[in-house]
Amino acid sequence: MRDIARPTKWVWPTGDEEGAAATLSRELGVHPVAARVLTNRGYRSPEAAQAFLTDALTALPDPFRMKGLPAAVERLLRAISAQDKVTLWGDYDVDGVCSTALLTTFLRDVGLEVRTYIPHRLGEGYGLNATAIEKLAREGTKLLVTLDCGITSHAEIAKANALGLEVIVVDHHAVPETMPPALAVLNPLQPGCDYPTKWLCAGGVTFNLCMALRKALRERGHFATRPEPNLKQLLDLVALATVADVVPLTGANRIFVRHGLEVLTNASRPGVRALKEVSQLAGMRITAGHVGFRLGPRINAAGRLDDASLGLQLLLSKDVPSARPLAQKLDAANAERQQIERAMLQGAVEQAQGFVDRGAKGLVIAQEGWHPGVVGIVASRVVERFHRPTVMIGSYDGTWRGSARSIEGFHLYDALKRCSGDLSKFGGHKAAAGLSIDPGRVDAFRTAFEQVTGELLSEDQLIPRQRVDAVVQPKELDVKAVEALQALAPFGMGNPEPVLAARRLVTSPRVLENKQPGLPGHLKLSLEAAPQLDCIGFGFAELAPLTEAPVDLAFQVEVDEYLGHQRVGLKLKALQAS
């Protein structure tokens, strides 16, 4: 989807990292190439680099530093003691589903039976709604815990209070000026919260709640008569939520995901094992990429198209035979979602191109019949293509809902606040948001959004960046260098896979046909300075003429193994004439 012919601004290392990198390499024993990457990313002292590299669970912050947590723990302790009727209200995306599965599993393990509620995306929309709250109250719920929603649900929480329900909000989205009237609010972004990792997903906030509650139960002797839950075995759910919700993989998030990927690899949870089977990942070591592109989308698929509780059922399954049919349904839903996405993408690109041609710096594209559950994914594809903040709006039964995605340096939620007069409802954070709108207000909203983006974005910000983490000589790229870079994983938002660059290279090109009809061919380059290295650029064939002269290459590195022999390979990210 990326247009490689578009101008790209290369962002090079500052050039002053060599001394600091040498110090890291010497004092920490870090490979010189990895040391340059760390230094260029801001970890310039041995102390800062060591803090980043530390991934022990004991290095997690004290959960009680999170504002609101003591009150939440105290209320849940009373619920466990009195066996109150508790309902966990989760969002319908991966983060919400995994947070709900996480807290459900933990509370059941400590002796509190809970019920769960996940709203229907198309029928009910995001967040709390009064009709469902009234039903829960009639059925006897005394405590409502929201997971990945609730921070903006003032009226709904006030309604719950009036009906006798106490509410604990567990959320991570942008905090409004007025906090909801809940018994406790857990959100690291709220004023006065001392928790150091601010950009947790809801799964991370929920795990902190479980850590604190287990500690309080232990101090009260609760586990003298029952097994104490092993929280590490719940980190698979935290890793799924953290990677899928695209929060920065630094601080506590890095520790959660590092250990959670191990739990996903071992797949002791029946639902995870079944999910890995349908994702063709059985027996494989799971990476953040597997979560982001194969496991997460399948959990998301049911909520996008129909009922997200299917994913929750899968994650709470007691055995693989009962989990397998659920995983197969999710796999089928994901295939259907992909088909819908492909059909929507063409029309979205055509609309977006028209707005770009007339100079719009922000895009609002809308069409009746576009599936509201898929607009977010397609919006991401449009951003990838045009590098502009994008709002994509679709309709269902007369209700128009949208999802928005941003670019680096543009705070999407703040921009939507300035256009909120045209919106029925909205929420989110700097990188992504959701909204609902009256169809008669779409044109006015587009005008307002284009005005805001026009004021806030420069032409330079609309040029895609290719960041380079370290400039290397090809001879430096051996297996040890690749292994040292892999030690910086897990990679994702906030900690992307390192991109290296080599300058003024003489190469021999070979164009390979793309097996998918109509798509650009691939470019394979042999480097004169390092004949043992091959560089493959998928979809880069049209840039082959540039290689008639020396070129700069930006690439990622990997180790290929064939017949027992290991060999370093380069994956091309960008190419330009030197």
**What pLDDT, in 10s, does the model give residues 222-243?**
999 999 999 999 999 999 999 9
Q: Which of 74-78, 170-174, 564-568 has the lowest mean pLDDT?
A: 564-568
Q: Which of 226-230, 310-314, 509-513 has the lowest mean pLDDT?
A: 509-513
Q: Which pair of tokens denotes residue 201?
A: 């997903």
- pLDDT score recorded for residue 575: 95
Q: Which pair of tokens denotes residue 211?
A: 């850590």
Selection from 250, 309, 274 nearest residue 496 by Cα: 250
Which residue type occupies 343?
A
Do 560 and 550 form a contact (C-beta atoms < 8 A)?
Answer: no
Do 346 and 365 form a contact (C-beta atoms < 8 A)?
Answer: no
Measure the N-to-C terminal CA separation of the chain; round to a whole number of Å. Answer: 26
In angstroms, the CA 147 to CA 458 distance is 37
- pLDDT score recorded for residue 5: 58
In angstroms, the CA 520 to CA 534 distance is 20
Q: Is the dihedral of CA 290, 293, 294, 295 positive or negative?
A: positive
Selection from 242, 340, 240 nearest residue 299 by Cα: 240
Q: Which of 160-169, 367-376, 526-535 has the lowest mean pLDDT?
A: 526-535
Give how far the C-alpha of residue 275 lies from the chain's centroid of Cα atoms, to the nearest Å.
19
- pLDDT score recorded for residue 138: 97
Query: At 514, is the pLDDT very low, low, confident or very high (cuts 50, 70, 90)?
Result: confident
In angstroms, the CA 40 to CA 14 distance is 8
Which residue type occupies 129?
N
Whether the per-residue pLDDT at 1 is higher than 60: the answer is: no
Whether the per-residue pLDDT at 17 is higher than 80: the answer is: no
- pLDDT score recorded for residue 6: 66
Beta strand 184-186 pairing with 166-170: parallel
Order of strands across the sheet that contains 114-117: 114-117, 86-90, 143-147, 166-170, 184-186
Whether the per-residue pLDDT at 399 is higher than 70: the answer is: yes
Whether the per-residue pLDDT at 414 is higher than 60: the answer is: yes
Out of 7-21, 112-126, 258-272, give the one with best mean pLDDT. Answer: 258-272
Q: Going from the N-terminus, what domains does the chain have, and what CATH number goes with each?
A: 61-227 (3.90.1640.30), 359-462 (3.10.310.30), 469-577 (2.40.50.460)
Do 91 and 202 form a contact (C-beta atoms < 8 A)?
Answer: yes
Torsion of the alpha carbons at 390, 391, 394 and 395, rounded to the nearest 10: 180
* 474-488: pLDDT as tens digits: 999 999 999 999 999
**Helices 235-244 and 94-109 sit at what angle, rounded to 10 degrees?**
160
**Mean pLDDT over each residue of the chain, to the nearest integer:** 94
Whether the per-residue pLDDT at 454 is higher than 90: the answer is: yes
* DSSP reduced 3-state for 312: helix
- pLDDT score recorded for residue 3: 59
In angstroms, the CA 98 to CA 172 distance is 14
- pLDDT score recorded for residue 305: 72
In angstroms, the CA 411 to CA 415 distance is 6
* 43-69: pLDDT as tens digits: 999 999 999 999 999 999 999 999 999
Query: At 317, is the pLDDT very low, low, confident or very high (cuts 50, 70, 90)?
Result: very high
- pLDDT score recorded for residue 279: 98
Which residues are bridge partners to 551 per DSSP? 505, 577
Query: At 324, is the pLDDT very low, low, confident or very high (cuts 50, 70, 90)?
Result: very high
* 184-207: pLDDT as tens digits: 999 999 999 999 999 999 999 999
- pLDDT score recorded for residue 120: 83
* DSSP state at residue 495: B
Write out the DSSP string of 342-407.
HHHHHHHHHHHHHHHHTT-SSEEEE-TT--TTTHHHHHHHHHHHH-S-EEEEEEETTEEEEEEE--
**Helical (H) or strand (E) element with 256:** helix 252-266
Whether the per-residue pLDDT at 122 is higher than 80: the answer is: no
Do 400 and 393 form a contact (C-beta atoms < 8 A)?
Answer: yes
